[in-house]
């Protein structure tokens, strides 16, 4: 649990840092950088061995999370394969709907952002 908490704290710290400094980098990426810097610092102090990080609780936890990460993508892939005939039949319509809905979402988001920024001035 401590190792999982370390991973979550690093992600939270990355989110806070990214938002506080208005950085154009996602919080989880900053959290990963913080984790790497922290591990490098711990290795320099002799607390951990860079070669043996996999044997630590943090290494085992991270490895376990990475091992099951692919499971998150399985349901979407299975759904696409099961409906492959429909995808072939309605693929063009789905593509048009996807592109148009994405464009409309982006345009509405811009106008909402502009409206809120004018309202907050």
Cα–Cα distance, 119 to 105 (Å, whole number): 21
Six token digits for residue 31: 């959290």
What ranges do the domains of the chain cover?
1-72, 83-121
| pLDDT tens-place string over residues 55-110 | 788 888 888 888 888 787 777 778 778 888 888 899 899 999 999 999 999 999 99
49: three-class secondary structure by DSSP: coil
Cα–Cα distance, 18 to 10 (Å, whole number): 12
- pTM of the full structure: 0.54
Alpha helices in 1-121 (DSSP H): 2-20, 27-44, 57-68, 74-82, 84-120
């Amino acid at each position: 649990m401590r190792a999982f908490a370390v991973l979550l704290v690093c992600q939270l710290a990355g989110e806070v840092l990214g938002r506080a400094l208005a950085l154009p980098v996602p919080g989880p990426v900053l959290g990963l950088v913080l984790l790497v810097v922290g591990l490098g610092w711990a290795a320099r102090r002799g607390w951990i061995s860079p070669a043996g990080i996999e044997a630590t609780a943090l290494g085992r936890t991270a490895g376990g999370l990475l091992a099951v990460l692919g499971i998150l993508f399985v349901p979407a892939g299975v759904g696409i394969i099961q409906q492959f005939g429909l995808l072939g039949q309605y693929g063009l319509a789905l593509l048009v709907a996807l592109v148009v809905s994405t464009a409309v979402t982006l345009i509405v988001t811009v106008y909402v952002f502009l409206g809120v920024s004018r309202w907050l001035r």
